[in-house]
Amino acid sequence: MSDKKKKKVFVIGLDCAAPRLIFDDFKKLLPNISMMIEHGVSCAMRSSDPPITIPAWMSMCSGKDAGEMGVYGFRTRKGNSYTDFDISFSHAFSGTNKIWDVLKQNNKKSILVSVPPSFPPFEINGSMISGFLCPDQDRDYTYPSELKQEIEKIGDGYDLDVVFRTEDRDAIKKAVWEMTEKRFKVIEYLIQNKEWAFFMFVEIGIDRIHHAFWKYFDKEHFLYEPGNTYESVILDYYKLLDEKIGRILSLLDEDTTVFAVSDHGVKAMKGAFCLNEWLIEKGYLVLNSYPEKPVTLEKLDVDWSRSRAWGWGGYDGKIYINKKGREDHGLVKENEYEALRDQLIRELTEEKDKDGNPWNTKIYRPETLYRSLKGNPPDLIAYFDDLAYRSAGTVGHKSLYLDENDTGPDDAMHDWNGIFIKYDPQHKEKQRLKGMCLLDFMPEVMKEFGLEEY
């Protein structure tokens, strides 16, 4: 126990880092990450439901699932509104005890760098820098607020995110490289100049690089062209990160246990399934008029008094039922509710792709995914063809299928598994584990501090 009291923990967060690339395809080309794998504990780590940045990182840092936190994605339905929602800013997780909250109670200092969602910045026992939910960089995005000036001087500015949904791939590449260079300058500075027992950063660059360049890299992507100009961009970026991680490892002492983790993986996007178009076609969602061009649900002319269900788009599909006594114009009675959910599950899982090929679609009742249900959960959660297809909530496409994302250029979808690597310089031993999920992460960190009973 006494040596655990001295322990420090450093967490390398790599948003979207894929097990296939880290543990297999790129392993020999990434000497520093390979060293951690060869001398540490590693495994694929099952993501959250849904496998998205929010709520995944907070699930990891709190050991709580989305239902327990009452946050089901980037947006949370506002009350029983048909269209209004709140963005899941850092406030949404304030009632959840996270690693740094427990460490604060034990007088240990933490440093957080861009762990999603961390805007608005919040007070911790230490320092923190917000992430990409910050609307623009003129805001205060650090705690304490003076830290902003300090890090912008060190990093020659600090980039919270990049514009990555554009066809100008060269611009994306340049911006991601610059963002990462700046972030790691700041990280190295904070490691050496601030007091900390727990340090965690999340580099969002991998996620952005995957979404922008996956079709140029993945030979299984339907748009892949051999020998294309951008074929090596993803590998080059992983190499850049490995070099930066090597520098970080050289700054850490023997008392520091290092974790490298990701919140979800990546796979090729095959297209998008228009969930609301499907609900309209089947008669579950009734419109007063069909739009001339694609519009979002908020702008759709819906006859709510005749609609039984509607959906939200994203990496997953969220389906809401217009329930009597709950929604303003609810018409599905309590005794019809389960039968309707059964019917939607049955019909949606029978859906095939546009060429008639079967899908591996999974539709879940939230109460079967989560240990409890706080807030406003959807009535059903859908993963079309096991996440190969996005859910498109927009209407006006006159089709159930889209080859591209309905919200802009995108090559990749999220996959179920992220990575977990634990490297303790004092206990170098190779071990491959199985069956870990990101809810197991917080307990692993707490063990390092001798705080198993947090």
Partner 1 sequence: MNESHKRSVIKSVSYRLIGSLATMLIVFAFTRKFALSLGVGIFELLAKIACFYIHERIWSRIKWGKLEHPLEDLNINKELSEEDKEKVKSQLKNMGYMD
Q: Which residues bind partner 1 (CB under 8 A)?
A: 52-54, 73-75, 87, 89-91, 94-95, 120-123, 132-133, 135-136, 139-140, 143-145, 163-165, 211, 296-297, 312-315, 390, 392-394, 405-408, 410
| Among the listed residues 212, 235, 9, 227, the one whose alpha carbon sits nearest the alpha carbon of residue 108 | 9
d(CA 110, CA 195): 8
Nearest approach in angstroms of CB 208 to partner 1 is 9
Considering the complex, state which of residue 106 and residue 296 has its C-beta at the smaller distance from partner 1. Answer: 296
Return the bridge partners of 198, or none. Answer: 9, 110
Nearest approach in angstroms of CB 334 to partner 1 is 30
Nearest approach in angstroms of CB 318 to partner 1 is 10
Nearest approach in angstroms of CB 432 to partner 1 is 32
Q: Which amino acid is it at 166? A: T
Nearest approach in angstroms of CB 26 to partner 1 is 25
| Among the listed residues 343, 338, 275, 282, the one whose alpha carbon sits nearest the alpha carbon of residue 312 | 275
Collect all residues with Cβ–Cβ distance below 8 Å to 21 and sequence separation of at least 6.
234, 238
Considering the complex, state which of residue 24 and residue 298 has its C-beta at the smaller distance from partner 1. Answer: 298
Nearest approach in angstroms of CB 82 to partner 1 is 15
On whether the CB atoms of residues 272 and 391 are closer than 8 A, the answer is yes
Considering the complex, state which of residue 165 and residue 371 has its C-beta at the smaller distance from partner 1. Answer: 165
d(CA 448, CA 223): 45
Looking at the chain, how many residues does it have?
A: 454
Half-sphere exposure of 91 (CA within 13 A, CB side): 8
Considering the complex, state which of residue 67 and residue 313 has its C-beta at the smaller distance from partner 1. Answer: 313
State which H helix or E strand residue 183 sits in: helix 169-193
Considering the complex, state which of residue 144 and residue 425 has its C-beta at the smaller distance from partner 1. Answer: 144
Collect all residues with Cβ–Cβ distance below 8 Å to 168 and sequence separation of at least 6.
none
- Residue 270 DSSP one-character state: -
On whether the CB atoms of residues 266 and 246 are closer than 8 A, the answer is no
Considering the complex, state which of residue 409 and residue 425 has its C-beta at the smaller distance from partner 1. Answer: 409
d(CA 133, CA 384): 27
* Structure tokens that stand for 321 in this block: 């039922």
Q: How far is CA 300 from CA 52, 288, 315, 382, in A?
A: 26, 9, 21, 22
Nearest approach in angstroms of CB 410 to partner 1 is 5
Is the peptide bond between 55 and the residue preceding it cis, with omega within 30 degrees of 0?
A: yes
The rounded Cα 109 to chain-centroid distance in angstroms is: 26
Nearest approach in angstroms of CB 394 to partner 1 is 5
Considering the complex, state which of residue 160 and residue 249 has its C-beta at the smaller distance from partner 1. Answer: 160
On whether the CB atoms of residues 420 and 45 are closer than 8 A, the answer is yes
Nearest approach in angstroms of CB 112 to partner 1 is 13
Nearest approach in angstroms of CB 235 to partner 1 is 23
Considering the complex, state which of residue 67 and residue 131 has its C-beta at the smaller distance from partner 1. Answer: 131
* Structure tokens that stand for 205 in this block: 């660059």
* Structure tokens that stand for 285 in this block: 């969602």
Collect all residues with Cβ–Cβ distance below 8 Å to 239 and sequence separation of at least 6.
29, 30
Considering the complex, state which of residue 300 and residue 340 has its C-beta at the smaller distance from partner 1. Answer: 300
Nearest approach in angstroms of CB 255 to partner 1 is 29
Considering the complex, state which of residue 207 and residue 385 has its C-beta at the smaller distance from partner 1. Answer: 207
Considering the complex, state which of residue 94 and residue 229 has its C-beta at the smaller distance from partner 1. Answer: 94
Collect all residues with Cβ–Cβ distance below 8 Å to 15 and sequence separation of at least 6.
53, 57, 116, 202, 203, 204, 205, 206, 207, 262, 263
